[in-house]
Chain A
Amino acid sequence: MRSRNFRSLASLIGLGIGLGLLAGAATDATAQDKKVLRMVPHSGLRITDPIITTAFISRNHGYMIYDTLFAVDDKLQVKPQMVDSFKLSDDKLTYTFTLRDGLKFHNGAPVTPDDVIPSIKRWGERDTMGQKLMTFIKEMKAVDAKTFQIVLKEPYGLVIDSLGKPSSNPCFIMPKAMAETPSSKNVPDEIGSGPFRMVKSEFQPGVKVVYEKNPDYKPRSEAPSSLSGGKVVKVDRVEWITMSDAQTATNALIKGEVDMIEQASYDLLPELKKSKEVVIKDLQPLGMNYMLRMNWLQPPLDNVKVRQAILHAVSQEDYLAAQVGNPEFYSVCGAMFGCKTPLKTEVGAAGTKKADLATAKKLLKESGYKGEKIVIMAPTDINSINQLPLVSAPLLRSIGMNIDLQSMDWQTLVGRRAKPDPIDQGGWHIFHTAWGTADMMNPVVNAGIKGLGKEGGWFGWTEDAQIEKMRDDYAREADPAKQKAIAEAIQKRAYELVMYVPLGEYIQPSAVRTNVAGLLPSPALALWNVEKK
């Protein structure tokens, strides 16, 4: 008996010591280091080249380690960033740019026009706005160690806007050796001149990426504003820790193991709001947009009346309620260039904002539609868009369409949507996706309204010479008022032809610990100016 009591007592003491150690160690582990910012990004970083891909996560990585010649402020005005000053010749054909003093790459080498020019060329091969700019450029040449020129074939209104475009793909400046990599291949290194340096030894693709403050970075003197101004880094280290499970990320934020979640899950916001140490923030002033995209090569969608029938069947509210749920985070928006941008216009948008099933049925009848199968590709694994096809399918059935809703993972969808083949050979009719407003805020960047068909158009291969002419007119125009008028005409035409169906605007809120300050609302993630108090 005595022996048993002793063992019980010893067990209890052991348990107590164990729990004490557990508690003590856990406290140590969760003690926040004020100089380390830990963030759960919206997806895992795998591709470190922000030019080869349009993925937002790679773009955000780009803003950490690279810098841009120009950048937008919080009013979407383009401001010099790496550029100190620039001037345009009287004939409006030659831009002369002078770089700021003290620009250095992470390997210590100075940034020179020899780096800038191939960086612009590589970006110009990949980016929509860059491609357009390159068609106007006659030559680019270095003048001296800090000065370079862009000489145009004819006046072009979007030179500065292009070089300062905020989203995929921004014109990031890389060292010459990296910038000379073919644009179809990943750059071999991660050397930029931006405010952070990537800690390559700690990079685990899809899991974790670590950045440290770049001690050689010389911020501009202006106050930070969106992606422009003084990029003053106030932490020593930033860790992006990927968490594929939203509940785990939420738990980690509430417990203080991470400082912010870049994009919090809508259904977990109530739980996050309960925590006194977490605040919900809107860091994306421009928001995102859903779209329904049709394949113009596939009958019957080659018939404009069928496309117009679909346009009139749609009610944005249905899609937004199904996908986002909380009206606090979405709004009906018919503007193809975004509802919070200078080119906002509702011209031609009436059809998409409120369903008019009678008109839709009438148009479908007039089209001569004979019940052909319409294939809608439905991605099941992307939570941010997976409800959209489920709204479209019954809606289009209700106007008499024969819908074949095909479920698949997103990667199957992106592979399949590149096929212009007939339906019986793996083709498709409709898919849904989401775009950052920054990537559609003018007629040059907005891939959805390209009219190039199979010769350079986006998936769906919309083709219209008139739209293309107007896009060129917009690009040549330097007067903002005239640009806006052209953009309105483009939108009107795009709606008439139904180049795509906008399904509304939404924001993806961030969740942040209350001790994190200085986050800058911007079209891409900006982590300079952020501090932990």
Chain B
Amino acid sequence: MLRLILSRLMAAIPVMGVVAIFVFLMLRLSPGDPAAILAGDAATPEAIAAIRASLGLDQPIWQQFVTWIGELAQGDLGRSVLSKQPVTHMIADRIEPTISLAIVTLLFSVIVAVPMGIVAAWKQGSLLDRGIMALSVAGFSIPVFVLGYILIYVFSIRLDLLPVQGFTPIGEGLWPFLQNLILPTLALSFIYIALFARITRAAMLEVLGEDYIRTAHAKGLPDRVVLTRHALRNAAVPIVSVIGIGFALLIGGVVITETVFNIPGLGRLVVDAVLARDYPIIQGIILLFSGIYVLINLAIDITYVLLDPRIRY
């Protein structure tokens, strides 16, 4: 196991290197000029040129790359072109809302979706199964922002139960933290509940047709035991894969939810940075995302081994 972890971590280094080079070049080759954005709409071309020089953006690309890689090797992601704040500081400020939303959404989705998928498979063809699958189709079909606005209208504007927007760090109290996360979690988890429920149902249906399940039933084991101890464990590998991928998608893809509920997370940070061509922030966040993807994939692989001893790497 340790060898697996170490070898995967070592393999991540060239992956991150390729990501770094690719991101750097893509940004430099795409249109837009951070100096023009910093100078403002009414600035003269001369003023923009002076700012470009002060930012080092007038230097050859290879020279800029060497400077950046040199800083990166020392753990320095640089400073925002616009605000001059360290990128590491900005990421640290914005990671809690995103991670909180991702984890709470993932937990809620798994808690709701996996039992739904199990029940749908167990009662295949029943009204319950069809109802769950219909809900799943709705989950895939309704855009997050539409659901978000509906939830805000009902629970915030009409019923006055929950805040419209914002984020409160968990350090300021569990209830304020949860209060701000309830609606975004509901909005965001709908699609993940749909996804996880469908995958769970499909994986369970495959396993429920196996001989050992029939044997378990023949031994007189109750349905609950057959479903959870025998079927679910063997159906878990594809479910865990999808949950892992779902978490990775959540980390990098919650920008719409963050916008609708005004959550100051990484999604909004990276979109704002792209719109402002704030190169150091974009580079830093994409490197962070790629690192998270590597770690999530590693975690999924480890989970496979734990769930199914037949799997070897």
Contacts and interface: CB of A to CB of B under 8 A. Distances in A.
A252 B160 contact: no
Contacts of A205: 80, 82-83, 85, 90
Interface stretch (B2-10, B46-54, B192-200, B215-223): B46-54
A184 B53 contact: yes
A447 interface: yes
B149 A52 contact: no
B260 interface: yes
A168 interface: yes
Given A47-B83, A244-B259, A252 B42 contact: no
Interface centre among A44, A48, A53, A204 (most CB of B within 10 A): A53
Contact of B275 (A186, A245, A409, A415): A409
B101 to A, nearest CB: 15
Interface in B149-165: 149, 152-153, 156-157, 160-165
Contacts of B83: 46-48, 205-206
A54 B41 contact: yes
Given A44-B272, A415-B31, A53 B39 contact: yes
Contacts of A54: 39-43
Interface string A26-66: 11011000000000000010111000111100100000000
B45 interface: yes
A212 B166 CA distance: 21
Chain B binding surface SS class: helix
Contacts of A184: 47, 50-51, 53-54
Given A54-B39, A168-B42, A206 B31 contact: no
Interface stretch (A73-81, A455-463, A492-500, A515-523): A455-463
A11 interface: no
B84 interface: yes
A263 B260 CA distance: 18
Given A204-B93, A206-B269, A257 B166 contact: yes
A29 B176 contact: yes
Contact of B36 (A25, A126, A186, A418): A418
Chain A interface size range: 35 or more
A248 B260 contact: yes
A252 to B, nearest CB: 5
A23 B45 contact: no
A415 B272 contact: no
B46 A19 contact: no
Interface in A182-210: 182-186, 188, 204-208
Interface string B273-295: 00111000000000000000000
B58 to A, nearest CB: 11
A415 B41 contact: no
Interface residues of B, number: 54
B74 interface: no
B241 interface: no
Contacts, number: 161
Given A52-B38, A414-B33, A418-B48, A22 B162 contact: yes
Given A46-B80, A247-B149, A381-B275, A53 B40 contact: yes
B179 interface: yes
B175 interface: yes
A415 B277 contact: yes
Contacts of A21: 175
B32 interface: yes
Given A48-B83, A248-B261, A433 B41 contact: yes
A248 B145 CA distance: 11
A412 B163 contact: no
Contacts of A457: 44
A27 B161 CA distance: 8
A170 B141 CA distance: 51
B246 interface: no
B268 A25 contact: no
Given A46-B276, A439-B42, A255 B160 contact: yes
B165 A418 contact: no
Interface in B40-90: 40-48, 50-51, 53-54, 80, 82-85, 90
A245 B149 CA distance: 11
A388 interface: no
A245 B260 contact: yes
B238 interface: no
Given A418-B33, A447-B42, A458-B44, A22 B82 contact: no
Contacts of B276: 46, 411
Contacts of A447: 42, 44
A19 B93 CA distance: 32
A23 B262 contact: no
B37 interface: yes
A25 B51 contact: no
A251 B161 contact: no
A42 to B, nearest CB: 13
B31 A248 contact: no
Given A19-B161, A186-B84, A411-B275, A55 B40 contact: yes
A241 B262 CA distance: 9
Contacts of B115: none
A54 B261 CA distance: 30
Contact of A248 (B38, B42, B164): B164
Interface string A109-148: 0000000000000000010100000000000000000000
B154 to A, nearest CB: 12
29 contacts: A21-B175, A26-B162, A29-B179, A55-B40, A55-B41, A126-B47, A128-B44, A186-B84, A244-B262, A244-B268, A245-B260, A248-B152, A248-B164, A248-B260, A248-B261, A248-B262, A251-B153, A251-B156, A410-B275, A411-B33, A411-B37, A414-B36, A415-B31, A415-B36, A415-B277, A416-B31, A418-B36, A458-B44, A459-B45
Given A25-B179, A247-B149, A248-B164, 18 more contacts: A25-B176, A26-B163, A184-B50, A185-B54, A243-B165, A243-B262, A244-B262, A245-B262, A248-B259, A248-B260, A248-B261, A251-B156, A255-B156, A409-B275, A411-B33, A411-B37, A420-B45, A439-B42
Interface of B: 31-33, 36-48, 50-51, 53-54, 80, 82-85, 90, 93-94, 149, 152-153, 156-157, 160-166, 175-176, 179, 259-262, 264, 268-269, 272, 275-277
